[in-house]
């Protein structure tokens, strides 16, 4: 399956008002793509789209709650009206709740699933109805929590597990139909975005991300790679891949990490901000790509970059191995 070069594409991005979605929108526009931005924060989106246009890009903003199918359909309609359609759809909208599962209210559980799972379902099915006719890429942003469970983020983990199951099943059905649509699941590890500050929080302290932490631009790079080069799954951050592989071999050992994982999600010395942006946008955290994660944030992920170019990686490893063999023979003959 072949997709258009990025500069010839129109890309729809949900959750585009902050974090990964905003990083992807700005990076795509800088590389020449037309972008359609969707999020609940309509005013913030208008400003973001305006800044892209002032920089010479092409962008439109659509205020929408991805948990409502009709509003997602309106996003697709706007893309058709303004740009004649779209080539890639990125489901990047997401929220989380910190706290014990039994302490979180049913309303908060439902709202999280409405955004993370049903928002992805709505976006994917609306996108595929369009892409199946003209071809293109569907990219769902899952998480390392698609493969792992995290205490005190139980429903977030459940939603991302559900996104993985839905994405895998949809991919199989599209392949069975022969539809010219690639389906990619992006699985970020800890990413320095405003997500912890936007979370509904039941803990006694403000949440933070367990290290190692990677930059949101690394996720955006992986997303835009998949928009051009069909890719099934991408872990962003080698640590996520390592933990997921380790859990497969020793699930009981991972369970025993619960106390450490809970401790690493609590930020020292910061009182909690309980409400977050679960039920309504938080203007203070829109328009920002980065969060305020304490400690070191990785500049890139060597593992992710290598995984996006497996042929080049294999060739490089082969060349290195051949060089070692030649060097060893030279030494043995001297």
Active-site residue set: 156
Pairing of strands 205-207, 266-271: antiparallel
Residue 135: alpha-carbon gap to chain centroid: 22
The number of beta carbons lying within 10 Å of the beta carbon of residue 85 is 16
Intra-chain end-to-end CA distance of the chain, in Å: 51
* CA distance readout (Å), 332 to 160, 320, 327: 54, 18, 9
User: What are phi and psi for residue 208, nearest 5 degrees?
Assistant: -145, 175
Question: For 113-141, b where at least 16 C-beta lie within 10 A, e where not — what string?
Answer: bbbbbbbbbbbbebbbebbeeeebbbbbb
Structure tokens at 45: 């989106």
| Cα–Cα distance measured from residue 311 to residue 324, given in angstroms and rounded to the nearest whole number | 20
| Signed CA dihedral, 91, 93, 96, 101: sign only | negative
Q: Are 61 and 43 in contact (CB under 8 A)?
A: no
Q: How big is the CA angle at 192 (ends 116 and 47), to the nearest 5 degrees?
A: 75
Using DSSP's 3-state secondary structure scheme, residue 113 falls into helix
């Amino acid at each position: 399956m072949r997709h258009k070069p990025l500069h010839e594409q129109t890309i729809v991005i949900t959750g585009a008002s902050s974090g990964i979605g905003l990083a992807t929108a700005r990076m795509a526009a800088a590389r020449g793509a037309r972008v359609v931005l969707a999020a609940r924060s309509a005013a913030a989106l208008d400003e973001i789209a305006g800044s892209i246009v002032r920089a010479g890009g092409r962008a439109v903003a659509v205020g929408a709650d991805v948990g409502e199918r009709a509003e997602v359909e309106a996003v697709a309609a706007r893309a058709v009206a303004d740009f004649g359609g779209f080539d890639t759809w990125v489901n990047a909208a997401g929220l989380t709740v910190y706290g014990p599962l039994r302490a979180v209210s049913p309303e908060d559980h439902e709202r999280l699933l409405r955004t993370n799972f049903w928002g992805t379902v709505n976006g994917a099915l609306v996108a595929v109805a369009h892409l199946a006719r003209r071809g293109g890429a569907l990219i769902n942003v899952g998480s390392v929590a698609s493969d792992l469970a995290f205490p005190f983020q139980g429903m977030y983990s459940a939603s991302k597990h559900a996104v993985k199951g839905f994405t895998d099943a949809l991919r199989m059905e599209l392949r069975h139909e022969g539809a010219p649509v690639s389906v990619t699941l992006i699985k970020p590890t800890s990413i320095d975005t405003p997500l912890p500050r936007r979370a509904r929080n039941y803990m006694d302290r403000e949440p933070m991300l367990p290290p190692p932490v990677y930059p949101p631009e690394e996720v955006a790079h992986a997303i835009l790679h998949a928009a051009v080069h069909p890719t099934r799954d991408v872990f962003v951050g080698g640590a996520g891949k390592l933990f997921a592989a380790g859990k497969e071999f020793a699930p009981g050992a991972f369970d025993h990490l619960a106390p450490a994982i809970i401790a690493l999600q609590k930020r020292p010395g910061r009182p909690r901000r309980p409400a977050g942006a679960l039920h309504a946008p938080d203007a203070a955290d829109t328009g920002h790509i980065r969060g305020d994660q304490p400690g070191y944030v990785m500049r890139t992920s060597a593992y992710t970059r290598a995984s996006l170019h497996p042929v080049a990686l294999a060739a490089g490893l082969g060349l290195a191995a051949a060089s070692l063999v030649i060097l060893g023979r030279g030494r043995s003959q001297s």
